[in-house]
Structure formats: C-alpha cells, structure tokens
C-alpha cells in the first residue's frame, strides 16, 4: 500500500503528518537487509569508559506511560562501500522544562478515513534528550577525536504511543485479501478503496464503498487508526534521530533524488511510503532476545512516484522504555540503485526508570 505525503524533511522519512493523504497499491517484496551490525571496537571501548550500557532490554507493562529517565541506546552506522562510520546515541525521556510547560500545546491532528472515521491524535509534548558521540571509523583509530553532542527535541506523545506492532498484525492478516501491485491476487480488494486517509472528508459515495470493502477484509475501526498512524509514529522517532550531527548530510548521500524534469512536470516534490506488504512478518529468532514478537516492516520511500530509499523497520509492542523509540528496535535505509550505500539504526540497550 502507498501512503502519499506532500512535504518532507528533505530525506530520511521525516514526513509531516499534516500532509498525509491516501494509500494506493500493495507493494512487492523486497530483499531482507541486516540491521544487526556489531559496534566497532572503539565504540565498545568508549562505552565502557563512560558507563554506557551496550546490552540488556528492560521492558515494562504496555499500560505504563513513558517516565523521565527512560532511555534507549542506539548504534547508528553509515556504510558506503568499504567505508563505515558509527555513532553511539542515547535517547532519554525528560521532564518538560518551565518554558516548555508554559508553551501552547500542539493542535490535535485530525484525519478522515475513506471508511468514514474521524481520527483524532491529541496534542501534547514529550521532551527528549539526545546525546550522541561519533563518528567512530572502521579502520583503526581511537575515540579521542570524536565529537560529543547534546540536544533536545519535543515530539508528540500520542505519536510515540501508537507503535507499529498492531499495524503489522493487520497487514499480515489482510494481505491475502488485497490486490497486489505485482499482479498477484488480481481479484482481491483494491487497497486504495479501503486504506486511505486525508486531511479533508471523503465524498459520501467513497465512504459507503470504503465501509463495504472494510467489511470484506475484516478491518475494524482500530485497525484503521493503527495503520493510519504508521507515518506519524515513524516521524516521532526520527524527529529525535535527526538531531545526530551529520545525519541529514549522510542521508542525502543515500537518496536517489528525482530528476528536475520530474519536479517540473508534476509541479511539486511529493513524498510517499509504499509498504512492501507481502514481506511483513515476524523475525525469528529475534536478535534482541526479548520475550515478545518482533516484526519486520519493509517499505519504500518514493519521490514523485519513483524509488528514493529502500527501508525496513524492526518493531515491537511499544512498552516503556521503548516508548522512547515508538517501539522501533531497528531501521535500515539503503540506496535503491546501490545497496552498498546504507544507514542502519538499531537499539543496543534500554533502561527503564523505576
């Protein structure tokens, strides 16, 4: 299925939720990529010297809200041929400062579904502290010359809480009933008729047909809300990751940018996410060793309908402290024309405040 978005943070999937519009065809399967890259020796040495945990996943009950002090430790790796760089990143949920508490809350986000639902995502802030150190290089060298950087971001609490696990379960359950872009199941339900969202209400005739198709594939109102939340949940996580120094620069080196002719012909630069629905599934065994299903969610980032990045997420039920990452355990993004150019982000450890 494809989710179109009108504006973007110039590359790395930071899609403004307000621009979300509608879905289209179910995607074709893509090749699996490995996000489980080992930290370089210099990263391990630095972490030990600074008491940064490199293993161990704390998990609390799903019903618990994120607490100040909850943290997720990430390993960010950029590969370009034989060259590699790594950053060690800590995301921490923090208490809102005085000025942040006095700041006007963000407006609620309202989406309309083609099945007639009105989805409202409440506006409230979660403060995130981001500490990063790097780059560490793959060939020799120590860590004395790396840069330490601290920053802060405000992200929407409701987006972090959405997670991706229930969207994965829905896609796995309904994919056999949907028409696929690769020609499989040609008599299946067209996803555009049932998996579409807009900032404006759909015409009554489309809503009536959407409700009929939703019943055919067994889609509930909660399914609609969860799948509609994939883009904002991803955005919430990446609003923090983008604070890592050099991240925008690295991503731009990965992206297959659209041609000037494509931008001129369409009169705009439109971004979209195309889910590789038939490749969504459970990762077994999961390398994080946690007692919950870990799902693989592959998708393609497109500019003006053309592939820009091949991506995959590893996701789990967003229990704290993994609420800090919206339940994301790993992410890989690679150039669709050159898979040797890629970025991986994976959770090394989490720590929950007790």
Work out whether strand 109-113 and strand 197-198 pair parallel, antiparallel, or are unpaired.
antiparallel
208 close to 52: Cβ distance less than 8 angstroms: no
Chain position carrying tokens 């991506």:
311
300 pLDDT band (50/70/90 cuts)?
A: confident
Q: What is the pLDDT of residue 97?
A: 92
* Least-confidence region, from 32-36, 151-155, 275-279, 308-312: 32-36
Sign of the alpha-carbon torsion through 107, 113, 118, 124: negative
The predicted-structure confidence for 234-264, as pLDDT tens digits, reads as follows 888 888 888 888 887 777 777 766 554 455 4
The predicted-structure confidence for 137-186, as pLDDT tens digits, reads as follows 866 545 557 899 999 999 888 888 888 999 999 989 998 888 776 666 76
Q: What is the pLDDT of residue 8?
A: 32
- pTM of the entire predicted model: 0.83
- Domain ranges within the chain, ordered by starting residue: 2-351
Q: Provide the percentage of residues in the chain whose pLDDT is more than 70.
A: 81
Instruction: For residues 254 and 117, give the distance between their C-alpha atoms in angstroms, rounded to a whole number.
Output: 37
74 in helix, strand or coil?
A: strand
Contacts of 205 (CB under 8 A, 6+ apart): none
The predicted-structure confidence for 36-61, as pLDDT tens digits, reads as follows 788 999 999 999 999 999 999 988 87
């Amino acid at each position: 299925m494809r989710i179109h978005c009108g504006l973007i943070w110039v590359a790395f999937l930071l899609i403004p939720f307000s621009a979300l519009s509608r879905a289209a065809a179910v995607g074709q399967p893509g090749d699996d990529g490995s996000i489980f890259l080992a930290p370089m020796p210099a990263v391990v040495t630095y972490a030990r010297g600074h008491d940064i945990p490199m293993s161990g996943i704390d998990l609390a009950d799903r019903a618990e809200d994120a607490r100040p002090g909850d943290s997720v430790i990430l390993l960010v790796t950029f590969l370009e041929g034989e060259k590699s760089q790594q950053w060690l990143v800590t995301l921490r949920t923090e208490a809102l400062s005085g000025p942040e508490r006095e700041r006007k809350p963000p407006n609620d986000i309202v989406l309309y579904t083609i099945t007639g639902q009105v989805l409202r995502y409440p506006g409230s802030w979660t403060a995130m502290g981001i500490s990063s150190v790097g780059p560490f290089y793959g060939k020799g060298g120590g860590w004395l010359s790396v840069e330490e950087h601290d920053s802060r971001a405000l992200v929407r609490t409701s987006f972090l809480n959405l997670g991706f696990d229930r969207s994965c379960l829905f896609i796995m359950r309904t994919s056999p009933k949907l028409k696929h872009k690769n020609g499989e199941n040609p008599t299946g339900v067209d996803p555009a008729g049932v998996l579409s969202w807009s900032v404006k209400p759909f015409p009554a005739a489309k809503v009536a047909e959407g409700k009929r198709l939703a019943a055919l594939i067994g889609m509930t109102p909660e399914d609609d809300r969860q799948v509609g939340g994939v883009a904002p949940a991803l955005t919430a996580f990446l609003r923090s990751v983008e604070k890592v120094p050099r991240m925008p620069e690295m991503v731009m080196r990965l992206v297959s940018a659209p041609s000037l002719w494509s931008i001129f012909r369409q009169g705009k630069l439109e971004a979209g996410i195309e889910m590789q629905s038939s490749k969504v599934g459970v990762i077994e065994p999961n390398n994080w060793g946690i007692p919950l299903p870990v799902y693989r969610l592959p998708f393609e980032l497109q500019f003006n309908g053309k592939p820009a990045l091949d991506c995959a997420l590893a996701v789990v039920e967003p229990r704290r402290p993994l609420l800090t990452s919206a339940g994301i355990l790993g992410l890989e993004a690679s150039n669709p024309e050159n898979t040797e150019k890629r970025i991986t982000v994976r959770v090394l450890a989490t720590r929950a405040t007790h």
